[in-house]
Amino acid sequence: MTQEQFIVLLFAVLCVTYLCLFTVYANKKIIAAKEAYQATLNYYQDPETQRQITSYVLANNMLRNGEEVFK
């Protein structure tokens, strides 16, 4: 094996290793984001949270999207 072939092989191994590590890291981040999203979704879909939001909206004369009601 020549020196050039060795360098190309080493570079290929390093690239594959980097891609594998990056994929593992990215998957962990994606899983964490999905879990956070699901927890937030569960919180806002909870009936008690919905009652609190409705109560706050009605008490502050607001529409559901956060805009104030002008009459």
* Domain ranges (residues) in the chain: 3-60
**3 state DSSP class of 68:** strand
Residue 16 has pLDDT above 60, yes or no: yes
* Percent with pLDDT over 70 in the chain: 89
Q: What is the pTM of this model?
A: 0.61
- 8 φ, ψ to 5°? -65, -45
Token pair of 28, please? 């962990």
Reported as a single tens digit per residue, the pLDDT across 22-54 is 999 999 999 999 999 999 999 999 999 989 988
Q: Per mean pLDDT, which range of 5-9, 14-18, 58-62 is the poorest?
A: 58-62
In 46-66, where does DSSP find H-type helix?
Answer: 47-59
Q: Which amino acid is at 27?
A: N
Q: How far apart are CA 18 and CA 25, in angstroms?
A: 10
